[in-house]
Structure 1
Amino acid sequence: MENLLSSWCSTVKSLPQNYVFPEDERPGKQIVPIFKNCPVIDLEKAVSGDRNNVIQQILQACQDSGFFQVINHRVCEDLIDDTMEIIKEFFNMPNEDKASLYSLDPHKSCRLYTSSFDYAREPIHLWRDSLKHPCHPLDKFVDLWPQKPSKYRDVVGKYTVEVRNLSLKLLEMICEGLKLKSGYFGDELTGIQMLTLNHYPPCPDPSLAMGISKHRDPNIITVLYQGNMCGLQVLKDGQWFMVETFPNAFVVNLGQQLKVISNGKFESAEHRAVTNSKEARYTIASFINPRNDAFIEPAKELLEKDDCCPLYRAFSYREFHDAFEEHRGEGEATLEVFKIKG
């Protein structure tokens, strides 16, 4: 527990050297502009008779950057607020109440940790604490979750179910837009759901530190709630942009499996999280992943419709994730492993 960032960070006035990133990887002091071109898509319009237009907006966002935000998504606003309050309460509990969850073992199912999955081997640490655990099916995993705060399992459980339903609804619209068979994103491709709760304490020097290093997500789709505090940045056309916050909006980020399935039509953008010196920031990320033994490849229906050759060979998700960890989240380097040459 002595490694847990929140247990000691308020006592230091300067950034420890093992949290200082190299100059070409740190955010520096430059002002990052707001990502004004990040689409904000009103999902209620898909219910009120304009479904095709909403689907086209989603497809365009998937092609342009792989990043968009959704509003009027029908995830209960009170539930979102309650979940964020529970998350804050969890991270601010005394260390003794969190000690049983802390682990350096990346294979532990429900795990509290500092920095990344590989704290012991990394030369520089991220300025964040995280709690990560599986959450689907709920009844299989909920007993592994924190017992404190007392409402954690009830509130977070309801949240994960609603956000999963939203994720599957988005994937079904993507499926419809690409003219794939209904149910293409079935249990093999979406059977694993992981929740990661992030706590970024105030940082002595945000220009030198990183909350999360730049990376592309290896999964199918990520749905993030970032509250009302900016910190998420996306790389677009070689420039970093800050992802704006909107009340009760979710940021949707395509994982690299969708880039493969779409045969390169969709983007999976590099993104990162930065820190600030004044306030703690909390985020809730839900990751929809394929099962480890699921095989991923460009959708055959899409290849036939477009009369084109596949850009990527078929692979298992376990194989992809091993390559992702080997390349430490470097998205393009990971994809290169699976590209068909020539």
Structure 2
Amino acid sequence: MSNSESYPPAFRGLTNDGDPPATAEIEPVLIQDKDIQIPVIDLERLDKEILREACREWGIFRLENHGVPLPLMSQLQEISESLLNLPFKNKRELFAAVNSPLSYFYGTPALNRSGDVLQRGTRASNMNMVEGFNVPLQSLSKIPSSSTSCDDVDAQQSKLSSFRVLMDEYGRHITRIATSLFDAIAQTLNLELSGDQRSEYLSESTGLIRVYRYPRRSGVAAGEALGMEVHTDSSVISILKEDESGGLEIMKGEEWFCVNPVANTFIVNLGDMMQAISDNEYKSVKHRVKTKKNMKTERHSVCYFVFPERDFVIKSSRYKPFAYSEFEAQVQADVQSLGTKIGLPRFIPHSPLFL
């Protein structure tokens, strides 16, 4: 099978496995961005002052000595790549099984709570060169077994079963990291939280993982194309494991900077909910992913997102009180009507974007 057969049809003319169509529409990015070294946090010897500075000035940091076994990360990447390399039709069928909590998406990272792609308004930017799987961690045990018997289906279900086992173990590790980091960040904000209160701010039951693939791209236009458009995460905390391909960029000040990959580390970025919880003391960092022309390899990454309890009301001097479910509904409404997320500015009193 040609590798292009594993891509969604809309991607195939833009990859290295095919000739680009003359009218291909992708968003050009013409400026060569600079590399930047983001702060480094050592989870084994966590320095609260370094953490506070990273959250206040950057909204993103690199995490080392995180305690996730390297063989587990390697095996998870291998099985994830294997599933993403299945023919497009097979992937859709495998992840569209009745009652399966998993979902497959492509062309946009804008999904609803069930993991289905949101239909975007006419002002949406061009297609994002990304595909992946949405994995709610609390529902992994509900992945159904196949009722069809054939060699191909059995092999694919075997892969999916291995994926579930590895994802379950990885999810326990990454949840541990997120709760440890949140506790430390709460201390830097002088938030004294009981166990029950912490679960309102950061609910483990909301944790989900998205496995992404960004295809190799032919030289279809000058400059570079966006694998994922400019955005902030809606989460409290997001924890990214990426391969060596690179492509992640962050905005600091009014400039874009490349964050180069470092083996055996995670990238942790704060989301909109952490910015609101901190009264804007900490930042939800703007970021994007580029896919460079004629990349030698695809880019693969795995990202964990965790949110507050849906009905928990966040009270802040900067925003009107809102429940996370209200924020989520507004983001989805904006994506569907405007084609893009507005986010926190919708909740700033007296802002032109205020609801």
Is the contact made by 1:40 and 1:70 (CA closer than 8 Å) also made in structure 2? Answer: yes
Please say if 1:288 is aligned against 2:297.
no
Change (3 A) 1:147 1:166: farther
Q: Residue 319 of structure 2 corresponds to which residue in structure 1?
A: 312
Question: Structure 2: how far apart are the matches of 1:95 and 1:80?
Answer: 25
Change (3 A) 1:177 1:100: same
Question: Structure 1: how far apart are the matches of 2:139 and 2:183?
Answer: 20
Once the 2 structures are TM-superposed, how far is the Cα of residue 294 of structure 1 from its aligned partner?
2.3
Question: Structure 2: how far apart are the matches of 1:125 and 1:17?
Answer: 14
Is the contact made by 1:101 and 1:110 (CA closer than 8 Å) also made in structure 2? Answer: no
Is the contact made by 1:43 and 1:72 (CA closer than 8 Å) also made in structure 2? Answer: yes
Moved over 6 A (4+): none
Q: Residue 14 of structure 1 corresponds to which residue in structure 2?
A: 20
Is the contact made by 2:43 and 2:63 (CA closer than 8 Å) also made in structure 1? Answer: yes
Please say if 1:321 is aligned against 2:328.
yes
Q: Which amino acid aligns with 1:126?
A: N
Please say if 1:172 is aligned against 2:183.
yes
Is the contact made by 1:101 and 1:111 (CA closer than 8 Å) also made in structure 2? Answer: no
Q: Residue 340 of structure 1 corresponds to which residue in structure 2?
A: 349
Q: Which amino acid aligns with 1:203?
A: R
Question: Structure 1: how far apart are the matches of 2:346 and 2:200?
Answer: 25
Is the contact made by 2:270 and 2:283 (CA closer than 8 Å) also made in structure 1? Answer: yes
| Correspondences of 1:245-256 after superposition (within 5 Å) | 245-256=261-272
Is the contact made by 1:142 and 1:157 (CA closer than 8 Å) also made in structure 2? Answer: no
Structure 1 portions without partners, runs of 5+: 47-53, 299-309
Equivalent residue pairs, number: 313
SS class of match (1:181): coil
Identity across aligned pairs (percent)?
A: 23
Once the 2 structures are TM-superposed, how far is the Cα of residue 93 of structure 1 from its aligned partner?
2.1
Q: Residue 134 of structure 2 corresponds to which residue in structure 1?
A: 132
Change (3 A) 1:16 1:78: farther
User: Bigger shift: 190-199 or 175-184?
Assistant: 175-184
Change (3 A) 1:101 1:314: farther
| Correspondences of 1:258-269 after superposition (within 5 Å) | 258-269=274-285
Please say if 1:114 is aligned against 2:106.
yes
Q: Residue 92 of structure 1 corresponds to which residue in structure 2?
A: 85
Change (3 A) 1:289 1:18: farther
TM-score by length of 1: 0.82
Once the 2 structures are TM-superposed, how far is the Cα of residue 291 of structure 1 from its aligned partner?
3.0
Q: Which amino acid aligns with 1:57?
A: I
Q: Which amino acid aligns with 2:35?
A: I
1:247-270 superposed Cα distances (whole Å, 9 cap, x missing partner): 111000101011111001001111
User: Bigger shift: 94-103 or 254-263?
Assistant: 94-103
Q: CA RMSD in A?
A: 2.8
Q: Residue 185 of structure 1 corresponds to which residue in structure 2?
A: 198
TM-score by length of 2: 0.79
Q: Residue 150 of structure 2 corresponds to which residue in structure 1?
A: none
